[in-house]
A and B are shown apart, each in its own frame.
Chain A
Amino acid sequence: MKKTVLALALALTACSSTPDPRPLSIPEAERLALVRFSNYTSGIRAFTASVPSPGGKLVLDGRVDFVNHVGYAGMRTDGRNDQFSQGLVQWNPGRMAFAMNPSTKPVDPVPVVDWQVRNLQERGSELDGALRLLVNLGADRPENSQLLLQSSARWLRSDKIGDTAVDVFEGPKQKDAAEARLRYWIDADGKLRKLEAKLGNSEELAVFDFTTSKEQPVQVIPPLRS
């Protein structure tokens, strides 16, 4: 019975020019299962991010250490250039630190300034959700591809990032959720090139672009150590 339905779906999609989203194949599930492990293996990657927030779109440019789960970025508010709208941010899965600074990129060595430190909120803040998501994108082992196969995760379409061919996947829905919150752009080696996330209650998506590996380590500021 199940086979008939699947065959029908295939026959239908074959007629249209752009294929519809479909369940994962086994190699696709294996590739999606590797995303966080591949980040872990890379160690540190540079990223840029655009995160919607009630005060305006936040733009981040920095790097994440997926092994030590710590990030460091310059942050500014799109369309503003006053001193309160930009600064440096460092964070780990539990806490973030902010210091006003005119740079839009991380400053190294990390300046000795007065960092404001606070706990990341569990919900409600798009920025906090984005920061937590970033440092949790690394794991020392792959996900279970067989569980992914059985989840709602889907292949959405083919795409290109620069000259690199990628596939766009929708991640699995969280339990009882109406829709999936994450979309992954993944190259042939299972490396994450871009991520879109629905954070908090925002209708607008946060967008993360990942570029180079082999970035210099993040010098963690004292309040975030331990």
Chain B
Amino acid sequence: MLLVAGCSSAATPKLGPEITVPAQLSTIQAAVDAAREGATIVVAPGVYKESVQVRTKGLTIRGTQRGSVIIDGEVKRANGIVVTAPDVSIQNLTVRNHTLNGVLVTGLNENGGMGRGSTGYTKLDPDKFPPLQGFRISYVTASNNALYGIYAFDAQHGVIEQSYASGSADSGFYVGQCKPCDIVVRGNVAERNAVGYEGTNASGQMYVLGNRFSGNRVGVTSNSDYQEAFVPQEDATLVGNLVSDNDEALSPAQADGAFGLGIGIAGGTRNVVSRNLVTGNPGTGVALGSSEDLPPLDNRFEGNVISHNGQDVRYVASKRAPGRNNCFDGDRCYDGAGDPMPKPAAPRGIPFNQVAAPPAQPEMPNGPLPDKAPNVEKYGVPAEDLFGDRAAVRS
């Protein structure tokens, strides 16, 4: 009997090219499971209390209204959407109240993907779980998720764009463990997170462009971490971002107690940080340091506007891992060891699920999305009100 059922379900023709939820199938997961490769699942407004696992190549999940198509974890379920298949797109919807991540994209397809850090962490084996190939997250709102809002690791060739993350107890956006990444993170807004954007061991063709990382505890970090694959972090490009006023008290505490920091690079090599506006961060604008025995090497800072921070630039490489050739605008270079990073006074955080709801976010426009190419040259120093209309925390 069981055998028969198994055979017949395998023979059921898959649905597509378009499936509507809840009109055709009542849950997003049912639609995903029924969909054939390349199908689009169109989701109507509603609160969907489910965790969606996407294992079919080329699916698109698209909400018809970004703010009212909601996948709600109810502070019970771990992840909103977990993507472990290539070339999947997630568009125009909201993921909130998860105990780990809003959206997780990963080639680690065992146990539905794994978070990073903490005791018991098993290091990713990229030979056993090769990186997922191709993903695109567009116009997604990720709020009040306990680990990351939008998280991609062990994945290559992706885009995260025009999305919004708040209330993450770790970072709003996180890209980790890829080399070369070929990933573009552009036009996003992160506020009221412990960290706006975090790139850990994310190296090579890793572009972070024209985002607003304001009103978090820490704006941006790019670092090397031995707990994860592909040490050291190198060759990331951060251009045209607004990194301001990262001293938001009404946000979850940062695990290491950091506060008031704009951009932090720890143990990074050959990163290019250009044409960013880094201002109003009361601790440090840009901090450049070591990570364990990994020094900061050959990092380039060019054409940024770094002003009105507690201290604009702080070189904090350790004696254990002294840096070399880290240059600002080609002439002011830092080598060797610096002074230790002072520990800031940080206000107590608030739990991730008590962070204020996001403001209204723009709908995904009709028509094709722009080309995936990073086009770094088109990003200049941003205005102080970049994406001010999408943000609740004011400068």
Q: Hey, which bits of chain A sit against chain B, CB under 8 A?
A: 26, 29-31, 33-34, 37, 40-41, 140-147, 149-151, 172, 175, 190
Contacts and interface: CB of A to CB of B under 8 A. Distances in A.
A147 B115 contact: yes
Contact of A190 (B76, B112, B118): B76
Contacts of A150: 111, 114, 120, 122
A73 to B, nearest CB: 25
3 tightest A-B CB contacts, nearest first:
A142-B99, A141-B169, A144-B115
The size bracket of the interface on B is 20 to 34
Contacts of A145: 78, 99-100
Interface in B147-170: 147, 169
A175 B76 contact: no
B351 A41 contact: yes
Interface of B: 75-78, 99-100, 111-115, 117-122, 146-147, 169, 252-253, 349-352
Contacts of A30: 76-78, 99
B117 A144 contact: yes
B100 A140 contact: no
Given A141-B146, A141-B169, A147 B118 contact: yes
Contacts of B119: 147, 175
Nearest to A146: B114
24 contacts: A30-B78, A30-B99, A34-B75, A34-B76, A34-B99, A37-B146, A37-B351, A40-B351, A140-B169, A140-B252, A140-B253, A140-B351, A141-B252, A142-B99, A142-B146, A143-B118, A144-B100, A144-B115, A144-B118, A145-B100, A146-B111, A146-B115, A147-B118, A190-B76
A29 B114 CA distance: 13
Chain B contact residues: over half helix, strand or loop, or mixed? loop
Contact of B112 (A41, A143, A146): A146
B120 A147 contact: yes
Contacts of A29: 78
Contact of A141 (B76, B78, B122, B352): B352
Nearest to A38: B75
Contacts of B118: 143-144, 147
A150 B351 CA distance: 26
A146 B78 contact: yes
Nearest to B108: A146
A143 B99 CA distance: 8
Contacts of A146: 78, 100, 111-115
Nearest to A30: B78
A146 B99 CA distance: 10
Nearest to B110: A150
